[in-house]
Homo-oligomer: A and B are copies of this chain.
């Protein structure tokens, strides 16, 4: 497995600090087709980051809307047949107009319906796939890269990210995309480079849809037009550092959530420089 090589911790921190500021300057418009559980928090994550979220999914309007978006984010949670159709239409339009899109394959491996939907979406070539370890394993199986089931526990991961490093790299090479698997340690790879990030708090798993919010946040960074691997790596680094900052204030999951959104709003290059941990 090829490693990050010359990309040092300090270089990642510096790049992340730049991109946090760039999101605030550029205010990328991020179109989201996300699940109902995550709508409030995903929109609030993007607003706190300085981006402009827009939840637009109707097939009647999403192709028209996506042309003006900087990125599209598609999330398969609370899936329905009309929702799957909306994702299909929107991702085709994104490809047509050269708008990068990010896939959050929530529940991949949990049911045949999720798997069928995700299979179809993969054809439209996401720039980034971000999931938990079980979801990444399941997507790799859907891409024909493994026999392992990647069966999640409900919609939660039943695996560690260390178990899917090789598969994530294969999937990235296969899809010519960036793959991120998040958990206690987050991994990001473009098939060649692979970085492990060690920030974040266990409380992040106790707030619903914080992973979905992360995928939206990745969309904001990807919407800047920089290389998707760099964008994804910086987004994951910033998000997890905000998690560290929030955990220092929190008495439980709800005060954590409040502190976390506030931290995303105030986060700057010096926070990253001080706190980033590359494993």
List residues of A whose CB falls within 8 A of some B CB: 29, 31, 35-37, 39-41, 43-44, 47-48, 52-58, 60-61, 64-65, 68-69, 77-82, 107, 110-114, 153-156, 205-209, 250-255, 257-266
Q: How far is the CA of A185 from the CA of B257 in the complex (A)?
A: 31
The residues of B that contact A41 with a CB separation of less than 8 Å are 40
User: Are the C-beta atoms of B44 and A207 separated by less than 8 Å?
Assistant: yes
User: Are the C-beta atoms of B44 and A208 separated by less than 8 Å?
Assistant: yes
| Min CB gap A109→B, angstroms | 12
User: Are the C-beta atoms of B257 and A254 separated by less than 8 Å?
Assistant: yes
Query: Which one of A31, A57, A64, A206 has the highest number of Cβ atoms from chain B below 10 Å of its Cβ?
Result: A206
Copies of this protein chain in the complex: 3
The residues of B that contact A253 with a CB separation of less than 8 Å are 44, 47-48, 261-262, 265
Closest to A260 in B: B254
Q: How far is the CA of A257 from the CA of B265 in the complex (A)?
A: 13
Q: List 10 A-B contacts (CB under 8 A).
A: A36-B55, A37-B43, A40-B41, A55-B78, A56-B78, A58-B81, A61-B111, A64-B113, A251-B262, A257-B258
Contacting residue for A35 out of B55, B60, B264, CB 8 A: B55
Closest to A86 in B: B80
